[in-house]
């Protein structure tokens, strides 16, 4: 059973973009907290936040399913260190609240290749940070498994 749970996290990291797209995750940028949320539902308060890289955390439900992710700080750190996705920050122009922005429908086509690049960058950062912290992918999966308890 434990092996299946580990494989679930590896599969999620490897297939992040297609899984998020299939689940119709929404992307929100909170300018005030400089946080990017990519989630099934906005700001999933019932889920636990588990940090998987310096700037990246996963939202985990009680069963250990990943319901989204948060990148913080997004514009002031993540984008500045990942030049391949710097332009994605400019797409958040549709204001939903005082400090909450989304990508407007008319920019979704333009956003597609950037979202694909963003997911590759997220995966790269998770793996790089695990290696730098001397964690194996097994250790990361174990951490996520116990984070929901």
- pLDDT tens by residue, 5-26: 557 888 899 999 999 999 999 9
- The pLDDT of residue 118 is above 70: yes
Complete edge-to-edge strand list for the sheet that includes strand 48-51: 48-51, 56-60, 66-71, 35-39, 26-30, 100-102, 94-95
Q: Which residue has the higher pLDDT, 41 or 94?
A: 94
Would you state the pLDDT for residue 39? 93
- The pLDDT of residue 4 is above 50: no
Mean pLDDT across 85-89: 93
How do the domains of the chain map onto residue ranges?
A: 2-142
């Amino acid at each position: 059973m434990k092996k299946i749970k580990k494989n679930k996290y590896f599969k999620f990291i490897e297939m992040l973009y297609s899984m998020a797209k299939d689940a119709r995750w929404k992307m929100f940028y909170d300018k005030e907290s400089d946080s990017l949320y990519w989630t099934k539902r906005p700001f999933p308060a019932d889920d636990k936040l588990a940090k998987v890289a310096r700037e990246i955390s996963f939202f985990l439900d009680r069963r250990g399913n990943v319901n989204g992710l948060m990148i913080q700080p997004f514009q002031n750190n993540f984008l500045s260190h990942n030049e391949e996705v710097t332009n994605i920050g400019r797409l958040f122009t549709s204001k939903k609240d005082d400090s909450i922005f989304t990508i407007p429908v008319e920019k979704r086509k333009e956003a597609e290749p950037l979202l694909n690049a963003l997911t590759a960058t997220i995966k790269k950062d998770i793996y790089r940070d695990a290696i730098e912290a001397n964690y194996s992918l097994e250790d990361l999966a174990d951490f996520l498994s116990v984070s929901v308890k």
